[in-house]
Chains A and B, each alone.
Chain A
Amino acid sequence: MNQWLTAPILIPLLGGILQVFMGYAPISLRRTLAIATTVLLLVSTVVLVVLASDDSYRLYAFGNWQPPFGIVLVLDRLAALMLILTAILALFCHIFAIGGADEGNRQFHGLFLFQLMGLNIAFLTGDLFNLFVAFEVLLIASYGLLMHGGGRARTVPGLHYVVLNLAGSAVFLISVGMIYSVTGTLNMADLAIEIPKVTGENLDIVKAGGMMLLVVFALKAALIPLCFWLPKAYAKATAPVAALFAVMTKVGIYAILRVYLLIFGEDAGALANLGMDWLFPLALITLAMGVIGALGADNLKTLVAWQVIISVGTLLAPIALGSVAGISAALFYLLSTTWTVGGLFLVAELVAHQRGSAKDRIVTAPRMRNRTFLSVLFLLGAVAAAGLPPLSGFFAKLLILQSVASGPEMAWLWSVILVGSFFTVIAYSRAGSIVFWRTVDGHVEAQGPLGGNVSVAAGALVALSVVIVALAGPISDYTDATAAQLHDPAGYVEILKTPMVGEDR
């Protein structure tokens, strides 16, 4: 039992409740308290990363019920990595938001913090049904955030997003019911023990349940053919919200990693590696689709939204192959791509702010006021996203390419990633050269200089790709250990035997 595990859930929960009750307080007070909550959250996740880095599993059982009964939170290296990834992204999005994007909606900060709470529950939970609840918590906050800022352009993508996710939730519940009806448990560690014992006619039920679960996670992760809702919704969202949403697709990828390595892993008997032979080709098609979308994008935000889909494909391909090195490389890429994409959304918003009616459309327009600063940020972000040396995207893609053993998979992965990266470079250089170089005479209506908050937030998120390169050694050590830990479900199952408080009497 370790009470620290509840901190990343309780901090945003209490902060969010506080925001709800002070909706009419002065905005400066609300902003200060909201940022303080996010900073506190970041501190708590740092503590959890330190806790998790000794390779042990930590458990918090609500109500002191011995697992598999009751709800448990489980902390391992993967959960800690996802928590700190989210907390850092959220802090910079939040700093950007208090630069003015949070105006016009008194509950923006509350929704933002509840969104973080949902994300953190999803990463910490050790229970399949609680994962569903976490998805719903983060989704209902994300519905509110997506509609933030109003405007007719947001209602239709918002409606599509909500309806699609509700249909996904229904499928999730059906698959949970199918798995429960056979195994009689929903605790992930217990499922890892029960699934290999399933035989006979029950096998098909669990198999169908497992495949439907993959469909749900693929919908959250925006895997083809379930990805077409994403570009419109993300491109229309307010910039800090879109940047925070960069981590939402990663929740689906996290769930795939967790469920399909632990429950349907190599030890799962007849159901070993369920669905992974589907995942690999679909991931490559998603990658190709994302590149085509990026080439055809007519504004910067849509371009970045398609970059989200590219990164989903790049992440799921090595995960589907399932080697330790591949998963380690994927986790390294996960860190790099989430922060970079978040930063690019913020940069696109700053560009849109400086170009008058041209907004972020990829067309010629009068010069921007802060063009040097913005073009350097865009260049850094584009280099990191497309995977050119010397920034983090390059190293991550290199690790992914190195991780695959020779064979037909290697041929497919290398060709799709390399050709895809080439065309991504073309997409970014086309967008960048038109927006920053091909300017026309004239001037836009006087815009104020960039605020300190927004510059710092966008700059810092993009600059994180430099930090990742500088710290590449420790980070890849951590991801290697995470991948090794994920490949050993026997360790995770040990949490079932953790003594509860007061049991030793």
Chain B
Amino acid sequence: MELVFALVIGALTASGVYLLLRARTFPVVVGLTLISYGVNLFLFSSGRLATGAQPIIGTTDTYTDPLPQALVLTAIVIGFAMTAFVVVLSLRSLADHEDDHVDGHQDIKEPQPEQNEEVTGK
């Protein structure tokens, strides 16, 4: 279980960072979401992974640490609010600049106007 858990966190975070570096607003938003999923899972694991253990004393023989669950819950709520804000801001940026690049524009030269190359002198 630990290996799968670690691989999932790694895959989520790596994909998130990759998407973040795409510098387009939609991939950036998705990337931030993936990173926050990875982070939440990581935070969950900081109380040690246990099967069949509940975070309430007396319900089972073994119990697990309740604090990471409280932390994850808070982090999820905050993460959702922030993601909603980024989505709105990205839409606004798209509307303002008519470009979904995070800089509002791309540093690509305007395509040169077509020249009449047919005039070759032949």
Most B-side CB within 10 Å, residue of A158, A160, A167: A167
With A173-B40, A181-B47 given, name 17 new contacts (CB 8 A): A129-B71, A155-B89, A155-B93, A159-B90, A159-B102, A160-B102, A163-B20, A169-B78, A173-B39, A173-B42, A174-B39, A176-B43, A176-B71, A177-B43, A180-B68, A181-B45, A184-B65
Contact across chains for B104 and A155 when beta carbons are under 8 A apart:
yes
Query: Which residue of chain A lies nearest to B95 when distances are taken between CB atoms in the complex?
Result: A155
Within B19-48, the residues touching A (CB, 8 Å) are 20, 25, 28, 32, 35-36, 39-40, 42-43, 45-48
A136 interfacial contact with B, CB 8 Å? yes
Contact across chains for B32 and A156 when beta carbons are under 8 A apart:
no
Q: Give B73 Cβ to nearest chain A Cβ, in Å.
A: 12
Which one of B39, B71, B81, B104 contacts A170 once the chains associate, using CB atoms below 8 Å? B39
A497 interfacial contact with B, CB 8 Å? no
- Bound Cα distance A156, B25 (Å): 11
A interface residues, tally (CB under 8 Å) = 27
Query: Which residue of chain A lies nearest to B48 when distances are taken between CB atoms in the complex?
Result: A181
- Bound Cα distance A140, B79 (Å): 11
What total count of A-B pairs have CB within 8 Å? 84
- Bound Cα distance A278, B35 (Å): 27
Contact across chains for A163 and B103 when beta carbons are under 8 A apart:
no
Which A residues lie within 8 Å of B90 (CB)? 159
B14 interfacial contact with A, CB 8 Å? no
Decide: A170 near B93, CB < 8 A? Known: A140-B82, A178-B46.
no
B8 interfacial contact with A, CB 8 Å? no
Decide: A155 near B92, CB < 8 A? Known: A166-B86, A174-B42, A178-B46.
yes
Interface size class of B (residues with CB under 8 A): 20 to 34
Which B residues lie within 8 Å of A143 (CB)? 85, 89
Contact across chains for B43 and A136 when beta carbons are under 8 A apart:
no
Contact across chains for A163 and B39 when beta carbons are under 8 A apart:
no
- Bound Cα distance A180, B65 (Å): 11
- Bound Cα distance A156, B96 (Å): 9
Which A residues lie within 8 Å of B97 (CB)? 152, 155-156
- Bound Cα distance A250, B42 (Å): 29
Contact across chains for A140 and B93 when beta carbons are under 8 A apart:
no
A401 interfacial contact with B, CB 8 Å? no
Contact across chains for A170 and B36 when beta carbons are under 8 A apart:
yes
Decide: A167 near B32, CB < 8 A? Known: A156-B93, A159-B90.
yes
For B7-23 the 0/1 string (1 means CB < 8 A from A) is 00000000000001000
Which A residues lie within 8 Å of B40 (CB)? 173
- Bound Cα distance A165, B98 (Å): 24
Which B residues lie within 8 Å of A158 (CB)? 89
Contact across chains for B103 and A173 when beta carbons are under 8 A apart:
no
The 5 A-B residue pairs with the shortest CB-CB distance, nearest first, are: A181-B46, A177-B46, A156-B104, A177-B43, A152-B96
